[in-house]
Amino acid sequence: MDSAEPLIKDLGEKARRASQLWLEGFIDACCLHRVVILCRRSKKLLIRTGQCFLLNGLIFLGSLLILNSVVIPTLQWILPDQQSMIGSHKLAAFGGALKLYSFLRHGLIQLFYLFWFYPMYIFSFILSNIWYNDIAKHGFAAMGQSEPTAVDSSGLNDGSSNAAQTGKSIGLGRVVIGIGEQLYSLLLINSFFLEVYATGFLPFVGKTLNFMLLSWMYAYYCFEYKWNLSEVSLDRRLDFFESNWAFFAGFGSPCVLAIFFFSPLVSYGVMAILFPLFVLTATGSVAEKDIYSQRTTWKCAGLGRLPIFYAANTLSMKLLTLFPHESQEKMQQNKEL
């Protein structure tokens, strides 16, 4: 028993520290006043954010509200079911008509989804993702940070053609590495999304794991825009994220709480409205500043690194085996760089 006491005390201290960091991340995500500050600094940012609200809030969610509040009740009044407009003593006489009403009602609702909501969903998804990138760029610029692609030209020898040639080669190499990183990052995040989706089917602990993984996924999404603009390498950002897992679990929790209890279409509409706000909150956050000095922890000393992306990384590497051997080597080199 005596030998177990230090272990229990250490675990208790780590749990307390993790809870504190989770709360700090949660509070940091809720600092929506940063959005107001950034929108006041940039008119372009204000316009893009307003467009997201207009498309996803007024049009998409508004259409859902009209469907559920007006269209469906109207169809149920015109084409009644067994419980609403017709008494039980008349069911035998109107049995065939009721089946036809039910078929027509469900058919009309499905046509409404087919020709309005699903095209609207695809259109909104594509356009919103384009706007999210613009919002991140405008927010990054509004923070007063330097351009991520800026190169100090003072170190170049204008009189040397070899130096110019080397500079072009380095620039081209950075572009190739950047493209490789983006492709691998996309593959990794999609693999992680499959992991999140699969945990939802687990009995007992499935919902809890799904909530936790979704929190990490949305937190990573929010900070990834800023890290891309800051040209932080994929390996460094993953190391930083997994080393500070408690904080990022808290940061992503408000995102998940906003959508966890809604239907899929409503959840998408709500998240499409809130996501740019959390992106801007992450842009204005200073929580990740130590990553630029190549530190691997931020207030998480003693908690250790949690391999959040281990399964996704393993799956991604398995998928890479489907590519030619030369492509595998290039992708692995880009990941390590």
Please list the rounded mean pLDDT of every run of 10 residues in the chain (337 residues): 70 85 91 92 94 93 90 83 53 64 85 88 91 93 60 37 45 61 79 86 88 93 90 86 91 89 88 93 77 46 80 81 60 54
- CA distances, 89 to each of 83, 98, 102, 213 (Å): 12, 14, 19, 53
Please name the helix (run of DSSP H) or strand (run of DSSP E) that holds residue 210, with its range, or none.
Answer: helix 206-229
Q: Cα separation of 168 and 148, whole Å?
A: 17
pLDDT at 212: 93
pLDDT at 90: 55
Q: In 3-state terms, the chain is what percent helix, strand and coil (to 5)?
A: 75, 0, 25
pLDDT at 123: 92
pLDDT at 163: 40
Per the CB < 8 A criterion, the answer to whether 192 and 312 are in contact is yes
- Rounded to two decimals, what is the model's pTM? 0.77
- CA distances, 79 to each of 67, 89, 103, 196 (Å): 16, 18, 9, 41
pLDDT at 150: 35
Q: Cα separation of 128 and 49, whole Å?
A: 10
pLDDT at 152: 36
Per the CB < 8 A criterion, the answer to whether 3 and 224 are in contact is no
Residue type, 190: N
Q: Cα separation of 198 and 194, whole Å?
A: 6
Tokens of 139: 């927010």
